[in-house]
């Protein structure tokens, strides 16, 4: 280090050259003077020069390389690289420092001067070199300053650019945030997009499906439109057909109505021809024993209208043979013991039809106790065993329904009354037994017969009537236990008031169907009956006798008909006589001991059968 500091890179004057320059006398003097000072402090004089041109300074200015290369400093810096220029400077320095120069003895002034001159020359050379170097350095400084200015400019530019870049960077940072946000949004949107894509796919699938369905529907629509047109055409045809049919129906209705009226007329004519009062005889089967044991009642196989009662009378004296007595009877119809309820009803169903046609109809069963009156009129619980009343009710409601098609509307009112000892009892009564009201038969101004306080029950169907019949039977059985079974000794009268209206034709009809189970007709010897029994029998006989009288009076067309003689005839007033059709069942018990009663019943029935009552006319308005 010291070596470097002490050695100058400046070119050192060679001794030869010092000699050459020594010819310049003016320059040698100051050189000699200066030599002393050089001797005094030779290293200090070179140090500044070495510090002025630091060997590495130009190299330190590295950036920008482009700007450095052309400067003079580079040239100065390169100087050490030359090498050969350094050697003279070192030699001069050595010389100046007295190195390599042998110390001259005091007397060798010449030598000393020569050394001094060499030193001066060396210094001058150094000065030149320094000046040159200085110029170079100045030039380098200028260039460096210029370069610095350029760099500063450039730096400014760069700073400005840096600012711009920073600004841009800041902006970019915002943009980055935006970008991040955008990226997040994009991710979200991507997800949404993927979802939407899926949905889109689904929707597309749905659309395809719907389109396919639409095509199907359109096809169906086209087919249905075609069908509709066909239907419309056929509807028109049908409407035309319906109009024609309606006209036909109206015409046929008219014809039907006329036919119905004609039928009623003819039906009535037939009934009249058959007789407005008819008598059917019915023989009850034996309840015990063999039917073939019944010998006294003969029913001819070929004639269902005849009956013979036969009896062998023993000779009182025993001298004459027993006499055979026969009693022949003829009625509208005779039913043997094997006749079913259905067969019996078939014969009277035409009469029941007359009731719907507006004719009063009365059907009663006459006969001794136990001869089968109640069985004939009411029958048993099973449908096969149904008697006249339930079958008549069934037929009435069935026919009424059928007649609805011809515009007929019917209403029905039922009542059920019992006559015991000339006292009326309401069999449809549902109040307290001790509060039973009294009843009176009244005749209204329109000749209608009504019973006061009697239950007149509107009925709409068969079942309702059956319920009423059951109620009546209950009432009768209650009376039976309380009053020593008077049912056989009382008349029961079931009455169905029928009102029909054909609003299309403004036609109305009104009639009464009376179905009567009479009290037992057996005659009891006056001597054998006493008290209440005698009173009962008197009442029964009286009413039955009056019934016969009334029928006979009607047959004889008498001016006065004694209806009021008994409650029974008074109640049945409208069902007997000119405006009605009457059917009487005479019931016969097959037991031989009943022969007498049977004979009496048949005689009574024969009298009735002989009657021809008026000409029935329908109650039409
Ligand atoms: N045609 C018949 N076939 C079968 N059984 C019958 C027939 N007629 C009546 N009977 C039976 O004979 C019995 C007496 O008949 P029913 O009660 O009808 O007589 P009735 O004349 O009404 O007697 P009453 O005057 O006492 O009321 C009953 O058990 C009944 O079931």
The DSSP annotation for 280-324 comes to: EEEEPPPSSS-GGG--SEE--TT-TTEEEEEEEEPPSSSSSPPEE
Strands 408-420 and 490-502: antiparallel
Q: Is the pLDDT of residue 319 over 80?
A: no
Pocket test for ligand 1, best of 287, 336, 371, 375 (most atoms within 8 A of CB): 375
Contacts of 448 (CB under 8 A, 6+ apart): 574
E strand or H helix at 116:
helix 109-274
Q: What angle do CA 587, 592, 598 make, to 5 degrees?
A: 30
Pocket test for ligand 1, best of 280, 374, 522 (most atoms within 8 A of CB): 374
User: What's the confidence (pLDDT) of residue 342?
Assistant: 95
Between 77 and 353, the higher pLDDT residue: 353
Ligand 1 lined by 367 (C-beta under 6 Å)? yes
Report which of 269, 336, 364 is spatially closest to residue 605, judged by C-alpha positions: 364
- Judge whether 607 is annotated as a binding position: no
CB–CB of 379/386 below 8 Å?
Answer: yes
Q: Is the pLDDT of residue 14 over 70?
A: no
- pLDDT tens sequence across 521-540: 776 554 455 666 677 777 77
d(CA 399, CA 168): 112
Q: In this structure, what are the phi and psi dihedrals at residue 318, rounded to the nearest 5 degrees?
A: 85, 0
CB–CB of 466/393 below 8 Å?
Answer: yes
Q: Is the pLDDT of residue 586 over 90?
A: yes
User: What's the confidence (pLDDT) of residue 555?
Assistant: 75
Strands 277-283 and 333-335: parallel
Range list of H helices, 359-428 = 373-377, 388-404
d(CA 248, CA 240): 12
CB–CB of 463/390 below 8 Å?
Answer: no
CATH 3.40.850.10 fits 275-315+323-610, yes or no: yes
Ligand 1 lined by 489 (C-beta under 6 Å)? no
Rounded mean pLDDT, 10-33:
43
- pLDDT tens sequence across 105-135: 888 888 888 888 888 888 888 888 888 888 8
Q: In this structure, what are the phi and psi dihedrals at residue 599, rounded to the nearest 5 degrees?
A: -60, -45
Ligand 1 lined by 287 (C-beta under 6 Å)? yes
Interface predicted TM-score (ipTM) over 0.90: yes
d(CA 149, CA 143): 9
User: What's the confidence (pLDDT) of residue 48?
Assistant: 43
- pLDDT tens sequence across 222-244: 888 888 888 888 889 989 988 99
Locate 224 and state its tokens: 């249905």
- Judge whether 371 is annotated as a binding position: yes
Kindly give the number of the ligand 1 atom that is closest to the alpha carbon of 587.
21
Contacts of 513 (CB under 8 A, 6+ apart): 352, 355, 360, 361, 362, 363, 392, 396, 495, 496, 498
DSSP state of 437: P
Ligand 1 lined by 336 (C-beta under 6 Å)? no
User: Which three-class secondary structure state does DSSP give residue 340?
Assistant: coil
The answer to which of 173-182, 237-246, 331-340, 490-499 has the lowest mean pLDDT is 173-182
């Amino acid at each position: 280090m010291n070596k470097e500091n002490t050695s100058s890179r400046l070119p050192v004057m060679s001794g030869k050259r010092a000699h050459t320059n020594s010819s310049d006398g003016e320059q040698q003097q100051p050189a000699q003077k200066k030599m002393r000072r050089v001797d005094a402090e030779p290293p200090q004089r070179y140090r500044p020069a070495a510090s002025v041109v630091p060997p590495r300074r130009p190299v330190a200015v590295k950036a920008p390389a482009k700007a450095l290369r052309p400067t003079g400093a580079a040239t100065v810096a390169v100087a050490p690289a030359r090498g050969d220029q350094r050697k003279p400077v070192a030699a001069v320095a050595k010389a100046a420092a007295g190195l390599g120069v042998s110390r001259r003895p005091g007397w060798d002034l010449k030598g000393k001067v020569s050394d001094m001159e060499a030193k001066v020359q060396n210094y001058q050379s150094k000065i030149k070199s320094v000046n040159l170097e200085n110029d170079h350095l100045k030039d380098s400084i200028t260039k460096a300053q210029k370069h610095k200015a350029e760099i500063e400019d450039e730096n400014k530019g760069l700073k400005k650019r840096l600012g711009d870049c920073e600004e841009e960077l800041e902006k970019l940072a915002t943009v980055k945030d935006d970008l991040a946000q955008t990226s997040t949004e994009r991710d979200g949107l991507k997800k949404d997009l993927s979802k939407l894509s899926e949905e889109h796919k689904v929707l597309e699938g749905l659309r395809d499906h719907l389109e396919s369905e639409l095509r199907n529907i359109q096809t169906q629509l086209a087919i249905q439109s075609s069908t509709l047109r066909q239907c419309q055409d056929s509807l028109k045809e049908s409407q035309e057909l319906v109009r024609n049919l309606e006209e036909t129906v109206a015409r046929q209705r008219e014809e039907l109505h006329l036919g119905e009226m004609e039928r009623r007329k003819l039906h009535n004519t037939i009934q009249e021809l058959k007789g407005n009062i008819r008598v059917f005889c019915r023989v009850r089967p034996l309840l015990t024993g063999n039917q073939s044991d019944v010998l006294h009642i003969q029913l001819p196989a070929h004639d269902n209208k005849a009956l013979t009662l036969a009896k062998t009378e023993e000779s009182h004296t025993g001298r004459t043979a027993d006499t055979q007595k026969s009693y022949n009877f003829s009625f509208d119809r005779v039913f043997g013991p094997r006749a079913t309820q259905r067969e019996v009803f078939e014969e009277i169903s035409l009469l029941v039809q007359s009731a719907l046609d507006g004719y009063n109809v009365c059907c009663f069963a006459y006969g001794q106790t136990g001869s089968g009156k109640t069985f004939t009129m009411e029958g048993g619980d099973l449908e096969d065993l149904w008697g006249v009343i339930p079958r008549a009710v069934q037929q009435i409601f069935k026919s009424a329904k059928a007649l609805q098609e011809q515009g007929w509307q019917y209403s029905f009112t039922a009542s059920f009354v019992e006559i015991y000892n000339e006292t009326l009892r309401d069999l449809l009564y549902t109040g307290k037994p001790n509060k039973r009201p009294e009843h009176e038969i009244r005749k209204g101004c329109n000749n209608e017969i009504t019973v006061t306080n009697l239950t007149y029950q509107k009925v709409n169907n068969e079942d309702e009537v059956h319920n009423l019949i059951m109620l009546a039977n209950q009432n009768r059985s209650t009376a039976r236990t309380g009053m020593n079974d008077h049912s056989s000794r009382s008349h029961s009268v079931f009455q169905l008031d029928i009102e029909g209206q054909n609003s299309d034709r403004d036609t109305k009809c009104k009639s009464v169907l009376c179905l009567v189970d009479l009290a037992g007709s057996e005659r009891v010897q006056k001597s054998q009956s006493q008290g209440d029994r005698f009173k009962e029998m008197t009442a029964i006989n009286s009413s039955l006798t009056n019934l016969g009288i009334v029928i006979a009076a009607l047959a004889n067309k008498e001016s006065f008909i004694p209806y009021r003689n008994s409650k029974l005839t008074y109640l049945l007033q409208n069902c007997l006589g000119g405006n009605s059709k009457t059917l009487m069942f005479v019931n016969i018990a097959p037991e031989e001991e009943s022969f007498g009663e049977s004979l009496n019943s048949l005689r009574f029935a024969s009298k009735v059968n002989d009657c021809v009552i008026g000409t029935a006319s329908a109650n039409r308005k």
